[in-house]
Structures are given as C-alpha cells and as structure tokens.
Amino acid sequence: MKILVLGGGVIGVTTAYYLARDGHAVTLVDRQPEAASETSYANAGLLAPGHAYAWASPKAPGILLKSLFNDDQALRLKLSADPRLWSWVWLFLLQCTSERARINTIRKLGLCVYSVDALREVVADTEVEYDGLNGGNLYFYRTDATFEKGVAHTGILREHGLEMQVLERERVAEVEPALAPHRDTIAGAVYTPGDASGDARMFTRALAAYCAERLSVKFAFDTAIRGIATAGDRVEGVLTDGGKLDADVYVMALGCDSAIIGRTIGLKLPIYPVKGYSVTVPMRESNLAPAMGGVDDDALIAYCPMGRRLRLTSTAEFSGYDTSHRPRDFRAMLRLGRELFPSVADYDQPDYWAGLRPMTPEGTPFLGPARYRNLYLNTGHGHIGWTMSCGSAKITANLIAGRDAGIDLEGMRYS
C-alpha cells in the first residue's frame, strides 16, 4: 500500500521504518528541513519505564494551584485565556484520582516496556548510532522521608513486573560511582536495570537516513500541512504548501499539532502542549562521568550522558505553544550539574532548548484508527515519547497490516 506519515519526529520516523519494513511504499511529510527538529530535538534522553508514572494523580491539583504563586513547582500552570487549555485541564483533573492514576500508570508501563524492547530490535536490525547506554537508570532521593515515599511509590511498577532495585545510601555509589562524592547528601535510590538512554535526535535522523537509503522511504521536508481533504468516511489527501499528497492510508504523528489539524476534520483530540526545558553541555574526559542516566527525584531534574555531552532537563509548564526561554530558566539544572559532576563538563558552554510535549490527560497516546477508515493515529505521547516511540510505531504497523497489536490497547484508542 501507499502510506503517508504526517510528522517527522521520532514517532513519525519510527512509524515510517516499521511500515516500510512491511513492504509499503511510504512517504513522510514534515514542515521542518530535517527530522527530529521539534519535540524530539533535545529531550531528556532517558528511556525510562522506571518513570512511567501518570502525571495526573491526587497530588497534581495542589501542585498546579501552588504553581500560580510559586514557579519552582514540578508542574507549572500559566494563566491563559485559551479555552483549549481549560478544557484540557478539566479532563486532566478528572484523571487525578488514586484509581485513575493507578490504571493510567499500568497502561503507560506496559507500553514503555514493550517499546524499549522494540527499540533494541530496531537498533539490532539497523545498527544506527545514537550514543545509547543500556545499563539502566538511577532515581535518587535526598532525604530519608522522600526516599521512603519514593520506594513506596515504585510498588505499582514492581507489582507489574518491572525490575527495580532499592539501594540504601551505601550502595548508590556501587551502582553509580560518579555519585560517590555525594554519599552524605543522597539518602538512597531506586535502580532500574532495564531502563536505558540515548540521543533521540541522533537516533531519529540516523533512522531516517536508513529508511531513505535502505527502505526507499520518501521524505517531503520543508513541507507544511495546510489541511486534510476527506470524502465520506475516507481521507482523500493531505493539502500542503507544495500541493496535494495522496495515499491509500494516512498516519497522523503530528504531536501537539495533531489537535489543531485533527479539529479541521472533526477529530476532538485532547492533546495539549506541555513545555519542557533542557540544557546540553560538553563533557570533558573524566573518570567521574556518570555511567548512566538519572533523576534527582526531589528536585525533579534529570541528567543523561550522551557521548561527549551531558544533558540536563526539568520543568513541565502549561504555557500554550510558546517555546521561548531565558537563561534563568536553566539555573536550577546547571546548579545541579555543577553540584553532582563539577569536573565532568564545561557548564560555561550551555546549549539551551525548550520544546513542547504533546500531553493527553491520561498520559497515554492515541493509537489506532480514527473516524476515517484509512486514517490512523500515533500521537499524544507526552513527556515519555522517546521511551514509547518504537513500540507505538510497531503497534501502528501491526494494526495497519491486520495483525494483533502486540499489547492491550485499552484506553489508547480514539473514540
């Protein structure tokens, strides 16, 4: 079949890979000059089933409320007249019960584990380079109280089969020697051996090149989507600034723009952008460099070594489609980097970035057919899209081919 994939981030490119591997004639269209130029450009880098918790939880409403007066909260809400924000927030609040948080976390975990396995299959098949590390991730806590709560919080993930090792203070440095100088300021950690990390942009662009060279995928970059033409229960084509593109089947992988484009053809997709910040600094040769990615769970700041670079990420801000940033937005991240790994990187050469995560209220994406017989959704992956990418793409290809999805898609289908 002739298939058109809308969107050139990690979700779109992995989808193109799986579809082309099935023998379809695939074209991918994106407004940017090359793949992974928006949400996938400089994300946290962690492939993290160990952090698959639903953001919508009983604690979230209080955090959002506090953020109106104190901007150091993990979730930050900026007041706006945008009715789409308030509609989304209402749906998010409906998910903030203990039961819904549990269900959504279990669903996220299943997709994340499936997806990390799929990513390893893709890497084995294509041999793409992406500064990947497969030694797990470390989630540490600063106080006995937060450590105790954090370990209790992992119960739901461990109950559903995720291997997680609880490390007392003395064992943290055994797993991550780079943290040995901080044994007095770290109360304990949770180590997830099955987690991994890597550069999503590097992976996506290398996979796009592989798709073009080895699988005959066509890429229509620098091509903005203006609309979608429909007739009855089918999509007839995609209208772009370069003309109309048609296919037998269409896959929407447009991230935050899925809600905007979808609305023009009657799809009500509760996807809203949540802004995240990252800073990347060059690393020096040092035997004190971290061996794996990690998260300071008290500060909710992540770090990830990527070859000769160190990336630090933080913040989830509801501020619409704005991607602007200022140096002050990165102070806490750089302060943590200097504290943990003072001699490892050159913090005076920061590369700042802010991007938009396409969040659903539940935290799980939309996967599968939409209201049109030849339109499939693979969108809304939120803060953990890099982790979910290959699994979501494999599921999409399975559904288009009429195969079993591979996992239970309860709660992830569009209705």
Residues of the domain holding 341: 2-401
61 lies in some domain: yes
- CA 95, 96, 101, 103 dihedral sign is negative
Measure CA 309 to chain center: 20
C-alpha separations of 391 from 71, 150, 311, 341 in Å: 35, 27, 24, 33
Give me the pLDDT at residue 93, please: 92
409 lies in some domain: no
Q: Total structural domains in the chain? A: 1
Give me the pLDDT at residue 74, please: 62
CA distance 257 to 264: 11
| Token pair listed for 321 | 């489609």
Q: What is the CATH number of the domain that holds 198?
A: 3.50.50.60
Which candidate, 208, 83, 65, 191, places its Cα nearest to that of 139?
A: 191
What pLDDT digit, counting tens, does each position of 66-124 carry?
766 666 666 677 777 789 988 998 999 999 999 999 999 999 999 999 999 999 999 99
288 lies in some domain: yes
Convert 78-107 to b/e letters by CB count within 10 Å (16 or more is b): eeeeeebbeebbeebeebbeeebbebbbbb
Which candidate, 16, 137, 113, places its Cα nearest to that of 397?
A: 16
160 lies in some domain: yes
pLDDT: which is higher, 65 or 384 = 384
CA distance 360 to 415: 14
pTM attached to this predicted model: 0.96
Give me the pLDDT at residue 71, please: 65
CA distance 216 to 26: 8
| Token pair listed for 261 | 């484009």
What pLDDT digit, counting tens, does each position of 182-213 carry?
999 999 999 999 999 999 999 999 999 999 99
Give me the pLDDT at residue 189, please: 98
Cβ partners under 8 Å of residue 70, min gap 6: none
Q: What is the phi/psi pair of residue 328, to 5°?
A: -65, -25
86 lies in some domain: yes
Q: Mean pLDDT for the chain?
A: 95
366 lies in some domain: yes
CA distance 128 to 28: 19
What pLDDT digit, counting tens, does each position of 107-121 carry?
999 999 999 999 999
413 lies in some domain: no
For the sheet containing 218-220, what is the strand order? 218-220, 25-29, 2-6, 249-252, 375-379, 366-369
406 lies in some domain: no
Highest-pLDDT range among 52-56, 86-90, 250-254: 250-254
